[in-house]
Structure 1
Amino acid sequence: MPARELEVLKLLANGFTYEEIAEQLSLGVGGAKGAASRMMMRLGALNAPHAVFLAVQQGILPGRAKRRPGPPRQPLTPRQALVLDTAADGASLAVVAARLGTTREQISSSLSGAYLRLGVHQHPRAERRAAAVAEARRRGLIPPAKQERAA
């Protein structure tokens, strides 16, 4: 397997997105996807997770324990930061969706991604949003609370 395809496979196995892979390997997103596609064809895989599974089975990649929760690889995307800041006051998903002119499902998806990136996805469901807001503010990823902004 060519070195570039093996690099892409290793990064996919570690949960990186094609955008993150492209940035790390100084490629375009199309280049990362192309290398992944060639690698999947070589392995006879149906998709990227299947390719990782087959690579572990064939000894190309070492098997390992599940990824431990830890610090995020990247800060929030601009959309995740906007959604989290808009939802910081505890409004329902429907209200946040109306504020941003989108759907409840898209808001839920953005918040879930933010929870993963901020490392709060293992908090009890009722505490995730507050924990994510606090962590994002602590890191300076979203503005301070409105009463703090005026000061």
Structure 2
Amino acid sequence: MNPTLTERELEVLRLVATGFTYEEIAEQLSINTNAARGLAGRMRMRLGALTTPHAVLLAVQAGILDGRPKRRTGPHKQPLTTRQAQVLAAAADGASLTVVARRLGITREQVAARLAEAYLRLGVTHLPRGQRRTAAITAARKHGLIPPATDKERAA
């Protein structure tokens, strides 16, 4: 039996098989993250899979995907959103989450969430907690995602 997937579910399956996260899939398909998760859930249900990796395996076995899916090419992480870049730039001088929140007129929790997302996108989540911000700022500046260091930051 070959399960029938919608075009959108097939798109999600292909993206998941090549290593994209739900957040990246949502961005690629111009939908929100919950919609991407919902499509993946329906895709898993139609395939009779217990997990997303199991769905990829079943799709390969059913001939829906060709052989072992290839990993995606290009940069491993997506660039930062505008808000993530703003928050990271505002935090570049070592300010606390509370100070950054005050500067940007948002909550401390929003600052923490945007920084966590930026760390994920810049690939620094494997580092110890105390090194993530510095590594993310360095990577973002290297790729031109946030402005270069000011004289005040260099002196600190």
**Same fold at TM > 0.5:** yes
Give me the TM-score of the superposition, normalised by structure 2.
0.67
1:123 maps onto 2:130 in alignment:
no
List aligned pairs for 1:2-151, cutoff 5 A. 2=5, 4=7, 5-12=9-16, 14-16=19-21, 17=23, 18-22=25-29, 28-29=30-31, 33=36, 35-36=39-40, 38-43=42-47, 51-56=51-56, 58=58, 60=60, 71-147=75-151
User: Which whole-Å CA distance do the structure 1 matches of 2:12 and 2:111 have between them?
Assistant: 30
> Distance between the aligned counterparts of 2:110 and 2:48, measured in 1?
33
CA RMSD of aligned residues (A): 3.2
The answer on whether the counterparts of 1:71 and 1:119 sit within 8 Å (CA) in structure 2 is no
1:118·1:132 contact (CA, 8 Å) conserved in 2?
yes
Distance in 2 (CA, whole Å) between partners of 1:37 and 1:55 is 10
1:25 aligned residue: none
Aligned-partner Cα distance in 1 for 2:27–2:127: 26
Partners of 1:63 and 1:104 lie apart in 2 by 43
Percentage of pairs with the same residue: 54
Q: How many residues align?
A: 134
Q: TM-score, normalised by structure 1?
A: 0.69
Kindly provide the amino acid, as one letter, of the partner of residue 29 in structure 1.
I
Q: Is the 8 A contact 1:118 1:135 kept in 2?
A: yes
Unaligned runs of 5+ in 2: none
